[in-house]
C-alpha cells in the first residue's frame, strides 16, 4: 500500500503470485513454505508466505475480480478484512496509539488457556505489523459462517443453542478478573460506548473507570469481556453446532454490569437488515439469556449519562 491509499485498498496485487499488504508485508503464493517465514495453506495445495517487501515498493494494483483473495468486510477508511486462503488479513487505521493491540489479547488468551481449554475456537496470530497510523494482522481462519449469515436459515432450537452458548461464553470469560477498566496489558480498552458521544474520546484506564463510576456501575470487581459480540464476530458450524469468536480488538476488563448493558444499548451488535425487529432479534435474545444467567444491567442509567453528553446511535435491545 503506497502512502495515501485508503485502508480498504491495503491489499494490492503485484503479479499473479504476489501481493502487497500495506507497505511492510509481501505475500507470495508458492509450492512450499519458506523456512523462518510465516506461512499458511491456500486451500488448494499451495502456500502463502510472508516476507519483507523490497524498497522501493513494486508497482501494484487493486485486486481483480478473479483474484483468489476475497474481501469480507469493508469499513472504508477505518478497517477492512480479506480472506487469503486459510488465513484472515485485517487492516485498520487505529484510533488510539495507546490501545491494547489484538495480537496482544490473542496471545494472552492462548497463553492463559492452551488449546482445548476454552469451550470455543479463537484464531491464532500468524503475523502482525504496525506502520504509521495503521495496523496489519494476519490470523488463522476459523471455518464456518458468521452468525449473521447463518441466522436467517436457523430453526428456533438452533437459534437458542447459539444464544445460550454466547451467554455461557460471557460467563466463562467473566471468571477472569482484573484490577481496573483496561485491556489485558493494562493499556486502553477501545470501547467508545464507555465515553460520552460528544465528549473527549479518552479511553485511558483512569478515564474509563471515572466514567463507569459516574454511570453508577459497581466498580468493586472487573471481569474479562469481549465487548463486541455481534453476529459478524461469531463463526458457527451448523453441522457440528460449534462456534468460534473473532475480532478481539475491543476486549478487556470491565464492571460486570457492562456485559449485559452493552448488549442492550449497542446497535453495532445488531443483525443486518432494514427492519428493526429483525435487526434487534440477536440482542433481545442474548440480553434475556444473560439476565437468566444472573448478569445485571444498568441500561437506563447508561442512557441518562450518555444522553446527557449527546445522542445515542441506536435503539435498545429490550
CATH number at residue 39: 3.30.200.20
Q: Are residues 169 and 240 in the same domain?
A: yes
- Residue 4 above 90 pLDDT? no
Rounded distance, CA 150 to CA 96, Å?
Answer: 33
Confidence of residue 131 (pLDDT cuts 50, 70, 90): confident
Residue 313 belongs to a domain: no
Q: Are residues 113 and 87 in the same domain?
A: yes
Confidence of residue 2 (pLDDT cuts 50, 70, 90): low
Q: Are residues 28 and 121 in the same domain?
A: yes
Residue 312 belongs to a domain: no
CA distance readout (Å), 284 to 32, 68, 133, 278, 315:
48, 38, 36, 10, 11
For the record, the C-alpha cell of 113 comes out as: 488457556
Q: Are residues 131 and 152 in the same domain?
A: no
Tell me the per-residue pLDDT of 151-208, one tens digit each, with 9 for 90 and over: 999 999 999 999 999 999 999 999 999 999 999 999 999 999 999 977 778 999 999 9
- Residue 232 above 60 pLDDT? yes
Tell me the per-residue pLDDT of 103-120, one tens digit each, with 9 for 90 and over: 999 999 999 997 679 999
Rounded distance, CA 249 to CA 137, Å?
Answer: 11
Identify the CA nearest to 152 among candidates 259, 238, 256, 62: 238
Confidence of residue 313 (pLDDT cuts 50, 70, 90): very low
Residue 252 belongs to a domain: yes
pLDDT of residue 309: 58
Q: Are residues 295 and 189 in the same domain?
A: yes
More confident of the two residues 308 and 216 = 216
Q: Are residues 41 and 125 in the same domain?
A: yes
pLDDT of residue 16: 96
pLDDT of residue 94: 82
Residue 315 belongs to a domain: no
Give the domain-ending residue among 117, 140, 163.
140
Q: Give the domain CATH number at 181.
A: 3.90.1200
Domain range for residue 201?
145-307
Q: Are residues 24 and 126 in the same domain?
A: yes
Q: Look at the alpha carbons of 282, 285, 288, 289 in this order and tell me if their dihedral is positive or negative.
A: negative
Domain tally for the chain? 2
Burial class (CB in 10 A: 0-12, 13-18, 19+), 258: buried
- Residue 9 above 80 pLDDT? yes
Residue 317 belongs to a domain: no
Q: Are residues 118 and 208 in the same domain?
A: no
Give the domain-ending residue among 140, 162, 197.
140
Residues 181 and 212: beta-carbon distance below 8 Å: yes
Instruction: Find the distance separating the first CA and the last CA of the chain, reported in whole Å.
Output: 44
pLDDT of residue 311: 38
Give the domain-ending residue among 81, 106, 140.
140
For the record, the C-alpha cell of 3 comes out as: 502512502
pLDDT of residue 96: 85
Residue 220 belongs to a domain: yes
Q: Are residues 200 and 85 in the same domain?
A: no
pLDDT of residue 314: 42
- Residue 258 above 60 pLDDT? yes
Question: If you average pLDDT over residues 71-85, what whole number do you get?
Answer: 93
Q: Are residues 232 and 271 in the same domain?
A: yes
Residues 124 and 246: beta-carbon distance below 8 Å: no
Q: Are residues 158 and 76 in the same domain?
A: no
**What secondary structure, in 3-state letters, does the chain show?**
CCCCCCHHHCEEEEECCEEEECCCEEEEEECCCCCCCCEEECCCCCEEEEECCCCCCCCCECCCCCCCCEEEEECCCCEEEEEECCEEEEEEECCCCCECCHHHHHHHHHHHCCCCCCCCECCCEEEEEEECCEEEEEEECCCCEEHHHHHHHCCHHHHHHHHHHHHHHHHHHHCCEECCCECCCCCECCCHHHCCCCCCCCCCHHHHHHHHHHHCCCCCCEEEEECCCCHHHEEEECCCCEEEECCCCCEEEEECHHHHHHHHHCHHHCCCCCCHHHHCHHHHHHHHHHHHCCCCCCHHHHHHHHHCCCCCCCCCCC
Tell me the per-residue pLDDT of 292-305, one tens digit each, with 9 for 90 and over: 999 999 999 999 99
Residue 318 belongs to a domain: no
Residue 314 belongs to a domain: no
Q: Are residues 154 and 56 in the same domain?
A: no
Tell me the per-residue pLDDT of 15-68, one tens digit each, with 9 for 90 and over: 999 999 999 999 999 999 999 999 999 999 999 999 999 999 999 999 999 999
Amino acid at each position: 500500500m503506497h502512502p495515501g491509499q485508503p485502508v480498504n485498498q491495503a491489499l494490492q496485487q503485484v503479479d499473479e503470485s504476489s501481493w502487497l499488504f500495506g507497505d511492510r508485508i509481501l505475500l507470495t503464493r508458492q509450492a512450499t513454505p519458506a523456512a523462518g517465514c510465516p506461512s499458511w495453506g491456500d486451500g488448494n495445495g499451495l502456500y502463502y508466505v510472508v516476507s519483507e517487501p523490497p524498497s522501493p515498493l513494486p508497482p501494484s494494483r487493486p485486486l481483480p475480480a478473479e483474484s483468489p483473495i476475497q474481501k469480507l468486510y469493508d469499513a472504508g477508511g477505518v478497517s477492512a478484512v480479506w480472506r487469503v486462503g486459510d488465513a484472515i488479513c485485517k487492516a485498520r487505521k487505529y484510533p488510539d496509539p495507546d490501545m491494547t493491540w489484538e495480537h496482544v489479547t490473542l496471545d494472552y488468551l492462548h497463553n492463559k488457556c492452551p488449546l482445548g481449554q476454552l469451550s470455543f475456537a479463537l484464531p491464532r496470530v500468524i503475523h502482525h505489523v504496525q506502520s504509521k497510523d495503521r495496523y496489519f494482522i494476519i490470523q488463522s481462519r476459523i471455518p464456518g459462517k458468521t452468525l449473521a449469515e447463518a441466522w436467517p436459515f436457523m430453526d428456533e432450537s438452533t437459534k437458542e443453542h447459539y444464544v445460550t452458548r454466547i451467554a455461557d461464553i460471557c460467563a466463562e470469560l467473566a471468571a477472569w478478573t482484573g484490577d481496573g477498566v483496561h485491556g489485558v496489558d493494562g493499556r486502553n480498552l477501545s470501547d467508545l460506548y464507555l465515553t460520552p458521544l460528544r465528549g473527549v474520546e479518552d479511553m485511558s484506564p483512569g478515564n474509563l473507570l471515572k466514567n463507569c463510576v459516574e454511570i453508577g456501575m459497581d466498580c468493586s470487581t472487573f471481569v474479562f469481556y469481549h465487548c463486541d459480540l455481534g453476529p459478524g464476530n461469531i463463526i458457527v458450524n451448523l453441522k457440528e453446532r460449534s462456534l468460534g469468536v473473532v475480532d478481539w480488538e475491543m476486549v478487556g476488563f470491565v464492571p460486570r454490569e457492562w456485559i449485559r448493558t452493552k448488549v442492550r444499548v449497542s446497535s453495532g451488535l445488531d443483525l443486518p437488515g432494514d427492519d428493526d425487529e429483525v435487526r434487534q432479534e440477536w440482542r433481545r435474545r442474548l440480553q434475556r439469556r444473560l439476565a437468566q444467567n444472573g448478569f445485571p444491567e444498568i441500561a437506563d442509567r447508561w442512557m441518562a449519562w450518555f444522553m446527557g453528553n449527546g445522542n445515542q446511535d441506536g435503539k435498545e435491545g429490550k
